[in-house]
Each structure stands twice: as C-alpha cells, then as structure tokens.
Amino acid sequence: MIITRRLAAGACALLAALAAGAAPAGAADGKPAKDSPKVELVLDVSGSMRTRDVDGGSRMAAAQQAFNEVIDAVPDGVRLGIRTLGANYPGEDKEIGCKDSRQLYRVGPVDRTEAKAAVATLRPTGWTPIGYALRGADEDLGTDGGTRRVVLITDGEDSCGQPDPCDVARELAAKGTHLTVDTLGLAHDDKTREQLTCIAEATGGTYTAVQHTDQLSSRIKQLVRRADAAPVETPRPAQGATECSKAPELGAGIWTDREKFAEHRWYRVKVKPGQELRASVSVGADRAVDRDYGVLLRAVDEGGQELVRGSDAGSGRTDVISSGLRYPLAESKKGDKDARTVCLEVSNSFSAPPGVQRDPGMPVELAVDLAKAPDNPSDLAAFGLGRGWVLLAVLGVTGLLAGLVWGWLSRWRFAVWREN
C-alpha cells in the first residue's frame, strides 16, 4: 500500500517536473508570463467583520494587515487579484445585498502600492454573498492558461442562500478548468466550518480555521506560494466509457472526469515497445460519504487479461484517495514497433448515506506518462520489485542460513554450559 502511494506521488511529481520544465520563462521585464499561475483573494467585508476578537482588534483590521504582508511577499511569477463581498451596499434589501461583490484589484502583475491603497479603503458594510462571489472570482481568473486558485477569507457562512456556495463549488469543479478554492474562517461556529469545508473539498482545496493575524498572513502566503509551485499543465477533460472498446484514447498528460459511487470507467493508452506506462488516479470525496471506501486502477490488454493493478482503501473522513501503477513494454525481438493498446480501468467503492447528492459524480484526476522502459522489464514486477519467485528464493535462503547459524550457536552455548 505504501509503495502504491509513493508511486502515485512520484508519477504526479514527474509530470509536474516535466510541465514546469516546459513552461515558458517570464518576460524579460520580470512580469509574470501569460500562462503563469493566477490567484484571487476573496475577502468578506460584511458588517460582522467589525467584531473585535482577533488579537485585540477587529477582524477587518487583521485581514487588512495580513493582505498588506501578502502583497509584499507575492512571488514575481504569480498574477494576483482581489475581490470583495459585502463591501459596498449597507442597506436591508436582500436582492441587492446578495449581489454585492466587486473586483477590487484586477488579476495580473502586482503593483504593491496600488494594491495596498485599494485594501486600505475597505470598511465592513453589508451582506455575505459567498456563492455569488465565487462565480465572480471564476470569471476574474479567466482561462488563458496557468493554474487557478481562489483564497476565500470570511468570518461567517453565506447569508443569502442562493446560489448555495457548495453547489457553486461543485459547479465550478465540474467545468474542468482546474479551479482550486481554499477557505479560511475567522469565525469558528459549526455552520461556518461545515460550509467552508464543503467549498474547499469540492474543488480539492483546504479549509483552515484562523484565530490570529500572523496565522492568517502566514496561511495566505503559503497558499500563494503553493500556486506558484504547482504544475502549469492544464488538465483536460475526458469522459470514460463503460467498456474498453468504447473508451477514449488518452496521451501523456493530466485528465479529469467524474465518476459516480461504485462506478467503473475505462480509458485507452497506446504504449510502444520500449516504453513504460505510468499512471496514477485520484478520486475526490467532495460530499459526505460512508466510512469505508477504496479506489482501484487496473491495466488490462484488449483481450481482458489483467497486466497490473494498483489500489488503496481507507476508513473515516477523507478528501482524496489515490493509487497508481507502472507497466513496462519490452522492445520486440522482431523489431516490431507497433503500439499496444492498454486499457485502464478506474473504479471506486465509495458509498453515501441517504439524501446525499449523487450527481454530478465525484471528481477524478488521471495522470498518464509514457517514459523509457527499464533495460530489463522482464526482471521487474509492476512496481520495480523483484518477481515473486526471486524474492521468495532470497527469503528462503536467508532463513535457512539464519537457522543454521542459530542452531550452531545454541549447540556451542550448551556445550560450554555443560563443561562449566
């Protein structure tokens, strides 16, 4: 199981390294390249941000101080933007208040003086339309390349109800534009925590409860740096089939799909002699699920014979579960260069309590790489270990030798004891 996890992590790291190496450098003037990472900070400026319970000051003051520190620390390769919610309408009309979200600073290269000046003008004002603001942030980030991350900072749950923030998060994840939403909560009641956790999990992000100004600043900086370090390759959508013969053909890259509870989906990959197929899959639990679950990734040939598999399982709460496999195809002795079709099956054993939404399915990310095969693939098992009989023989010989040595030592000690 540990080997499987390491393989999955290694495959993703390899893809990240390849993608990063292929990414174009920034412009000569030091500004971020067009396909560089994009981050938008979404700040709650509703009336409750006046509450004075963060290091002796207001929540708003803590957020402004943290934003100033983050703006100073933005990496040169990141395009940053700022959006507010509840910053402009102080009235009681819910219809107006629930559309009160504006882009304060456009996503792009950061002018630190201009960005700080914009943040300094903010005063706690109105409602908390989180769902509406998330849709606006998605539009702000655009789709011109680069990773896309939203960092939402709020001190309470959505006060509008429609659109529901969790539904919006699932909607944005289903679009296949690889948007990650991380949430930070300045209030610690159960409803706020549940809603912010739901938003984060639906998009593969994280939720953090914040109590101090330095903690808020440190966490936002960390998330911005994470965006800068993430692979710039944009995942592509792929719809798996119910059987291999009808499955889409995938090349090297990162592919996204959706899979329902206990569903099986098939994909095809062409592997040439001398290549090694490396694949890993992650299934995100973006809603409440039952305690026990698992994921299986299998490689089979067109005749249905299993070539290799990778699996993982767990119990309790999880955000994502992953597995991976490797399949080397030896060079043909006859010089045959024709590619072989390998069928990849992704299945899961997730289930959910009654009343949990089944559609859309859970987010699936499938990473595929085709690397040079090992020099002697016939001497390797799927995960680079010795074949079973070799390992068994080594263990047997080792055990025999250990037994002989132990027996000799025991007889020698007994003889010494009798002489004394």
Tokens representing 166 are 């969790």
Average pLDDT, the chain: 82
143-164 residue pLDDT tens: 887 789 999 999 988 999 888 9
pLDDT band (50, 70, 90) for residue 60:
very high
Segment 47-51 mean pLDDT? 93
For position 238, what pLDDT does the model report?
Answer: 93
For position 376, what pLDDT does the model report?
Answer: 52
Query: Three-state SS for 18?
Result: helix
End-to-end Cα spacing for the chain: 52
Which domains does the chain possess?
Answer: 37-229 (3.40.50.410), 236-379 (2.60.120.380)
pLDDT at 8 over 50: no
Q: What percentage of the chain reaches a pLDDT higher than 70?
A: 77
> Which amino acid, 91?
G
pLDDT at 93 over 50: yes
For position 351, what pLDDT does the model report?
Answer: 93
**What is the spatial distance between Cα 101 and Cα 169, in angstroms, rounded to a whole number?**
17
Segment 56-81 mean pLDDT? 93
**What is the spatial distance between Cα 61 and Cα 65, in angstroms, rounded to a whole number?**
6
Contact between residue 10 and residue 49 where contact means Cβ atoms under 8 Å apart: no
pLDDT at 176 over 80: no
392-412 residue pLDDT tens: 555 566 666 766 666 666 666
pLDDT at 382 over 60: no
pLDDT band (50, 70, 90) for residue 63:
very high
pLDDT band (50, 70, 90) for residue 200:
confident
Segment 121-147 mean pLDDT? 91
Q: Does 171 or 400 have the greater pLDDT score?
A: 171
Q: Does 269 or 189 have the greater pLDDT score?
A: 269
For position 202, what pLDDT does the model report?
Answer: 81
pLDDT band (50, 70, 90) for residue 204:
confident
Has this prediction a pTM greater than 0.75? no
Sign of CA dihedral 365, 224, 206, 312: positive
**What is the spatial distance between Cα 185 and Cα 153, in angstroms, rounded to a whole number?**
6
pLDDT band (50, 70, 90) for residue 49:
very high
Segment 109-131 mean pLDDT? 94
For position 112, what pLDDT does the model report?
Answer: 94
pLDDT band (50, 70, 90) for residue 76:
confident
pLDDT at 21 over 50: no
For position 393, what pLDDT does the model report?
Answer: 57
**What is the spatial distance between Cα 386 and Cα 311, in angstroms, rounded to a whole number?**
19
234-278 residue pLDDT tens: 678 999 999 999 999 999 888 999 999 999 999 999 999 988 898
DSSP strand pairing (362-372 vs 275-284):
antiparallel
Q: Does 68 or 18 have the greater pLDDT score?
A: 68
Lowest mean pLDDT among 123-127, 177-181, 232-236, 281-285: 232-236
Contact between residue 105 and residue 118 where contact means Cβ atoms under 8 Å apart: yes
Segment 350-360 mean pLDDT? 89
299-334 residue pLDDT tens: 999 999 999 998 888 887 766 788 888 899 887 766
**What is the spatial distance between Cα 377 and Cα 66, in angstroms, rounded to a whole number?**
53
Segment 161-170 mean pLDDT? 88
For position 241, what pLDDT does the model report?
Answer: 95
For position 331, what pLDDT does the model report?
Answer: 78
Q: Does 415 or 79 have the greater pLDDT score?
A: 79
For position 25, what pLDDT does the model report?
Answer: 40
For position 225, what pLDDT does the model report?
Answer: 86
**What is the spatial distance between Cα 259 and Cα 296, in angstroms, rounded to a whole number?**
13
For position 18, what pLDDT does the model report?
Answer: 35
pLDDT at 384 over 90: no
For position 15, what pLDDT does the model report?
Answer: 37
